[in-house]
Amino acid sequence: MTYDHIRGEGKAGHMGAKLMAVVAEGDRGRVYLAPTPEMEAIALTARPTWRPETSLPVNPRDFKTPNYGLTTFADLFTPRQLVALTTFSDLVQEARERVKRDAIAVGLPDDGKALEKLGAGATAYADVVGVYLALAVDKVADRNSTVCAWASLREHARNTWPMRTELDRRMIDSGTNALASSVVLVCRQRSATAPTATRREFVTALKTELPPALAHLQRGNIAPVDLAQAAIGPGMGVYTRYAKVLDAEGKPIPVRAALALINQVLDEALAEQEGEFDADTRWALTWFEQTGFAEGDYGVAEQLSKSKNTAAALVAKLGSQAETARELCYRTYTLCERKKRAAEAMAYNGLVQSWPEITRLARKTQPAATSRTDDMFGYE
């Protein structure tokens, strides 16, 4: 059955509605009953007194219902749905009239002007109540429909978090630079009693709170290319905690300066992670920062190895636990970015993004445990 046939039948008026079940309240919740002919006949007796005959947009590419003969807003509802919705609307109007009468009865003067005419009496007051009731009915109709609704339950997100998207590039502009992660910033109103802080206090708070937040982001496997953007959340969470952050002259530090301090502390936190690496890895990082993958002088390498408490001959035995190795990838990406080595930076960025799959495959192919010393993936 082709689309053209289905759409043609719809435009010819041959598409309708079929009662599939009757929902009733049972002992432990809803029960669904197969409809009888009598039930279907009752459902078909619904006759709305009003229909929204406004035409729907004519845009076959983005608005599909006119393709099937549903050309007005009324066509989107069954007669029973229209009866229910118009009944709610009529009740709102009745409630408005009662509010107006009650307001006049208790002595509220009535100038006869509606709210839209800048009235200030009982008529305008009834209009206000009617508007709020209409909004409430709208929400009730939405929440009691079969369409999925978002119920926030008054939960509040406190920080930023990485949200992986389907692609590592924008769908509408493939091949251009774009974030590999979607970073969501959640903003909440600051307390009216928020204190002020000095620049020193702000930096101290950053150094205390940003490193654990950074580790949390890394455990979430956020792409290194997006790490600086994702770190804005925890950093700005510290900055916006205060009503003002004052510099040495007592002037407020602007957002641009705060972001610069956040990036500075972020870089320091990444550098401090080197302390978790072994001596050989620290040597390799420093050598990579200086020369990349190019050849270098052996004497310089040996001198550098002594400062890192290792030996050039042992560099080939580099290795560490899995989590530390991933931190090493973040650090290497940062070095490549700083040295403008874009191709190498993207390689390390891709390595971090592939890390969960690498570790999964490593565990899948891991041999039986032995007494040998294993590397981060379980191999000797």
User: Is 223 or 29 the better-scoring residue by pLDDT?
Assistant: 29
- Of 271, 310, 276, 268, nearest to 289 by C-alpha is 271
pLDDT value, residue 378: 44
d(CA 35, CA 21): 5
How far lies 38's CA from each of 21, 42, 71, 95, 248, in Å? 13, 6, 31, 35, 83
Q: Which tens digit of pLDDT belongs to each residue from 300-312? A: 555 555 544 444 4
Q: Which tens digit of pLDDT belongs to each residue from 281-300? A: 666 666 666 666 566 665 65
Q: β-pairing, 29-33 with 22-26? A: antiparallel
pLDDT value, residue 128: 93
Task: Name the pLDDT band for 115 (thresholds 50, 70, 90).
Answer: confident
pLDDT value, residue 310: 45
Task: Give the three-state DSSP class for 176.
Answer: coil
Taking 60 as the threshold, does the pLDDT of residue 216 lie above it? yes
H or E stretch at 245: strand 244-246
Task: Name the pLDDT band for 103 (thresholds 50, 70, 90).
Answer: very high
- Among the ranges given (36-45, 71-80, 179-188, 369-378), the one the predictor scored with the smallest mean pLDDT: 369-378
Per DSSP (E only), the strands in 6-126 are 22-26, 29-33
Task: Name the pLDDT band for 361 (thresholds 50, 70, 90).
Answer: low
Q: Is pTM, for the whole model, over 0.85? A: no
d(CA 6, CA 12): 10
User: Is 155 or 65 the better-scoring residue by pLDDT?
Assistant: 65
pLDDT value, residue 29: 83
Task: Name the pLDDT band for 165 (thresholds 50, 70, 90).
Answer: low
d(CA 259, CA 239): 9
d(CA 125, CA 368): 79
Taking 50 as the threshold, does the pLDDT of residue 125 lie above it? yes
User: Is 270 or 313 the better-scoring residue by pLDDT?
Assistant: 270
The answer to whether 326 and 352 have CB atoms below 8 angstroms apart is: yes
Using a pLDDT cut of 90, give the percent of the chain over it: 20
Taking 70 as the threshold, does the pLDDT of residue 102 lie above it? yes
